């Protein structure tokens, strides 16, 4: 793993482009997110298919969504690209992303969930540090909350992310002792497992792997972890950062719980593991850089991540 390409942090007056490379979002949701970003002093431009147009369960055809994304990545005026939402669809177009445009003019790219496919591709193809953080749909929760404040701190202030394990998170008990340093990579577990065997395989040697997910039963979480293990993705990690596994198994679900599954598969790797991190699909989430150095201290219950910006 070489040094990441870190785009410049945002400044007041910079242009942010909102695109929908995956699922569609309602116009009202996007408009609230625009208000949040404008409240930070940023200018906002919408991709053609960012406002609720639908093609089946997608925000447009593959050609339309890819065109919107590449237009934003090629725009010399834009300094950041924020995805409107996750859902499904990024994998369908990821091989068509204009990586030459990314290499020529690196921009901040932020999103999570299905956008994991884009994070992995941009890291593998361009060494770009990106932001695992709220989509526009998440920012629509408003200005005055942890989700918005952590994203603003990372995007505009270039601040490192200091994330503490939270006892209220269902994965809090997933822990193996120790301290690890390494490049933070990863994201949504299901997307990572689905991409194993595809063209974009990040070198995870000495990395800290971030995992989170939503709406997956424990056996499906188990299946994804086993897929990554069999594909060799878990062989040489420095540590594992476990975020939110939201609505993964109903309350009172028969054992094993998703936390049991995570502990069984991850705590046997022989590396530090820290669960309970408020990163992912929860009511609030902390934005963190991907492709940048991080320190995971399972004994102290903290994950500290360098800024994704220069």
Which active-site residues does the annotation give?
113, 212, 281
- Return all residues near 218 (Cβ < 8 A) that are at least 6 apart: 248, 249, 253, 256, 257, 258, 260, 261
Q: Torsions phi, psi of 149, nearest 5?
A: -65, -40
Residue closest to 196 by CA, chosen among 171, 166, 226, 169? 226
DSSP character at residue 7: P
Per-residue b/e over 220-235, b at no fewer than 16 CB within 10 Å? bbbebbebbbeeebbe
DSSP 244: E
User: Rounded to whole angstroms, how far apart are CA atoms 154 and 10?
Assistant: 9
Most distant CA pair in the chain, distance: 53
For CA atoms 135, 141, 142, 146, the dihedral sign is negative
How big is the CA angle at 85 (ends 258 and 309), to the nearest 5 degrees? 95
Q: Could you report how far apart the first and last alpha carbons of the chain are, in Å? A: 18
How are beta strands 208-214 and 239-246 bridged, if at all? Answer: parallel
Tell me which residue of 42, 60, 43 sits closest to 51, measured CA to CA: 60
Rounded Cα distance between 131 and 259, Å, is 26
């Amino acid at each position: 793993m070489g040094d990441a390409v870190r785009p410049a942090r945002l400044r007041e007056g910079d242009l942010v482009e909102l695109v929908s490379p995956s699922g569609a979002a309602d116009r009202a949701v996007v408009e609230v997110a625009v208000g949040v970003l404008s409240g930070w002093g940023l200018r906002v431009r919408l991709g053609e298919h960012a406002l609720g147009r639908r093609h089946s369960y997608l925000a447009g055809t593959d050609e339309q969504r890819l065109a919107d994304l590449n237009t934003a990545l090629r725009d010399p005026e834009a300094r950041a690209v924020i995805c409107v939402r996750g859902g499904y669809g990024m994998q369908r177009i990821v091989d068509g992303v204009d990586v030459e445009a990314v290499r020529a003019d690196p921009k901040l790219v932020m999103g999570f969930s299905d956008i994991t496919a884009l994070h992995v591709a941009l890291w593998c193809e361009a060494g770009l540090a990106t932001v695992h953080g709220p989509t526009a749909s998440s920012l629509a929760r408003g200005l005055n909350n942890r989700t918005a404040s952590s994203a603003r701190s990372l995007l505009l202030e270039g601040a490192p992310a200091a994330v503490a394990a939270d006892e209220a998170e269902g994965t809090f008990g997933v822990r193996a002792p120790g301290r690890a340093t390494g490049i933070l990579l990863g994201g949504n577990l299901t997307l990572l497992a689905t991409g194993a065997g595809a063209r974009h395989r990040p070198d995870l040697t000495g990395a800290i792997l971030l995992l989170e997910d939503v709406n997956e039963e424990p056996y499906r979480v188990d299946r994804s972890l086993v897929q990554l293990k069999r594909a060799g993705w878990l062989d040489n990690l420095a540590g594992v950062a476990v975020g939110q596994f939201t609505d993964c198994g109903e309350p009172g679900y028969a054992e094993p719980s998703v936390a049991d599954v995570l502990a069984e598969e991850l705590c046997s790797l022989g590396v530090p593991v820290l669960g309970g991190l408020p990163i992912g699909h929860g009511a609030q989430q902390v934005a963190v850089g991907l492709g940048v150095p991080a320190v995971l201290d399972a004994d102290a219950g903290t994950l500290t991540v360098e800024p994704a910006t220069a």
